[in-house]
Amino acid sequence: MSEHSLHSSYREKLIEHLLIGELLKFSWLNKDFTLEIAKPEVDNSGYDIIAESNGIIRHTQLKAAFVVSATASQKIHIALSKKPSGCVVLVYFNNETLELGPYYFYGAAPGFPLPSLDHLKIAKHTKGDAGGVKAQRPNIRVLNRGQFEKLNTVNDLYEKLFGSPP
């Protein structure tokens, strides 16, 4: 078993912090200085961070996967669609160097709500009950990687999230 499996929570937080650092660095280098990041105290609406820049607020669910991962889908909470400019960012990373990219984005233009999730498949629990039946998770939907927009750089991701820097 690899350290990625044994310490997945640690890795998840590390990737989150690396991404936030890259977004803040982009803001700094573009003399924008408006990016603010906040974390929810309770995780019941499907987002991991709240990011605001130039009046655009993004409630963002973060997902991470190895660059060579064959992961074809992600599970997202329907409550995310009720947030202003909710979105999902899938961050691919190199499992040896932890270098980030490419990025995949699911959402609408800055200032607009997440597209409806009603048409997406309802997720199921990963473990079955005593009879082997995997119950549905009515508040969770399955989003296929093909529904995301691929972005090669953190610069592209920042502009997708907040528009062009001033």
- pTM of the predicted model, to two decimals? 0.91
CATH number at residue 21: 3.40.1350.10
Q: What is the count of structural domains for the chain?
A: 1
**In this predicted structure, what is the pLDDT of residue 5?**
58
pLDDT tens digits, residue range 68-126?
A: 777 789 999 999 999 989 999 999 999 889 999 999 999 999 999 998 888 899 999 88
Neighbours of 83 (CB within 10 A): 19
CA distances from 68 to 12, 79, 157 (A): 17, 30, 20
Distance between CA atoms of residues 99 and 69, nearest Å = 15
Domain that holds residue 37: 3-162
Q: Give strand pairing partners of 144.
A: 73
Distance between CA atoms of residues 83 and 68, nearest Å = 32
Per this entry, what is the length of the chain? 166
